[in-house]
């Protein structure tokens, strides 16, 4: 039987040189381009290792953050959806993804109002959680809920804590019944029917894990969280994320993943 995380297809985009000017909170250092590319290569290799067929799109220099493809679209086995990213510098990224989505999907729905970043969307076996955030507004969330119903998906809308960029910056699914979450998000109503694992103190940055097949992809330096997950009998694959973390990004951000042909 195919499990919820048994993705077979993914779309990623190579980082352009402009990625070093990507958005970030505060005035942190620029990432190192060569090291960031290596992190991206390792990530693609991990997806392939998990049996995923990866469509690697060319870099898009006018869009520094376009390597984070997750924010501009949603993909399911029933169809794709172009989002409206909330940061003005990222608004054009959805249209940029359209040709690739059309190659893979017969149905590509679009939004004509509001804003939603894919980083605010957590797919669970029971529902698609839409987190309101600085990037995702209520108008966008409500429209998205209607469009998701057309793809056969039930949506629930929740609030992302103000200190957290994207809903999934603070949480990620570990298995079909378990979510890893930072302490601030542990009580989120959408997690009522799930077991919640809370990130250990000092490892809040670990929360953006990505389950692919039987592995949980996790940032390399989060040893305690990794140990906690492995004690549940789930294999982890540790990846370097130091450079992408400088752009407030994590492992889910760099791909669109789905079960398809
Ligand atoms: C941004 O601020 O939009 C990018 N620098 C980081 C996007 C991270 N995406 C994600 O968490 N889904």
Whole-model pTM: value is: 0.97
What does the pLDDT look like over 213-239, one tens digit per residue?
A: 999 999 999 999 999 999 999 999 999
- CATH code for the structural domain at 9-258: 3.75.10.10
Is residue 63 in contact with ligand 1, taking CB distance under 6 Å? no
pLDDT classification of 47: cutoffs 50, 70, 90: very high
Which residues lie below 8 Å from residue 2, measured CB to CB, with a gap of 6+?
Answer: 259
pLDDT score of 106: 97
Whats the size of the chain, residue-wise? 261
Tokens describing residue 29: 């250092």
How far apart are the CA of 223 and the centre of ligand 1, in A? 23
The residue to mutate among 253, 254, 256, 257, having the most atoms of ligand 1 within 8 angstroms of its beta carbon, is 253
For residue 90, give the ligand 1 atom closest to its CA. 3
Q: Say how far apart CA 172 and CA 243 lie, in whole Å.
A: 20
What does the pLDDT look like over 79-96, one tens digit per residue?
A: 999 999 999 999 999 999
Residue 261 has pLDDT above 80, yes or no: no
Q: Say how far apart CA 28 and CA 184 lie, in whole Å.
A: 24
Tokens describing residue 108: 């590509």
Task: Output the residue whose Cα is nearest ligand 1's atom 4.
Answer: 23
Residue of 128, 126, 138 lying closest to 86 (CA atoms): 138
Is residue 120 in contact with ligand 1, taking CB distance under 6 Å? no
For residue 250, give the ligand 1 atom closest to its CA. 11
Q: Where are the domains of the chain?
A: 9-258
What does the pLDDT look like over 97-150, one tens digit per residue?
A: 999 999 999 999 999 999 999 999 999 999 999 999 999 999 999 999 999 999
Tokens describing residue 80: 């794709």
């Amino acid at each position: 039987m195919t499990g919820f995380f048994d993705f077979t297809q993914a779309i990623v985009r190579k980082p352009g040189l402009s990625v070093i000017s990507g958005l970030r909170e505060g005035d942190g250092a620029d990432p190192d381009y060569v090291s960031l590319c290596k992190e991206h290569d390792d990530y693609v290799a991990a997806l392939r290792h998990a049996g995923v067929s990866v469509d690697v799109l060319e870099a898009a220099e006018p869009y520094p953050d376009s390597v984070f493809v997750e924010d501009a679209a949603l993909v399911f086995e029933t169809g794709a959806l172009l989002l409206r990213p909330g940061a003005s510098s990222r608004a054009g990224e959805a249209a940029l993804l359209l040709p690739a989505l059309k190659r893979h999907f017969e149905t590509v729905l679009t939004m004509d109002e509001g804003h939603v970043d894919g980083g605010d969307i957590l797919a669970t076996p029971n529902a698609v959680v839409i987190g309101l955030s600085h990037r995702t507004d209520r108008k966008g969330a409500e429209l998205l809920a209607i469009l998701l119903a057309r793809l056969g998906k039930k949506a629930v809308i929740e609030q992302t804590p103000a200190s957290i960029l994207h809903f999934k910056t603070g949480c990620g699914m570990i298995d079909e019944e378990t979510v890893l979450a930072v302490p601030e998000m542990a009580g989120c109503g959408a997690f009522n029917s799930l077991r919640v694992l809370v990130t250990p103190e000092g490892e809040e940055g670990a929360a953006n894990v990505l389950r692919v097949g039987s592995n949980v992809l996790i940032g390399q330096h989060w040893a305690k969280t990794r140990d906690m997950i492995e004690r549940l009998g789930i294999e982890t694959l540790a990846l370097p994320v130091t450079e992408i973390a400088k752009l407030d990004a994590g492992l889910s951000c760099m791909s669109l993943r789905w079960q398809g042909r």
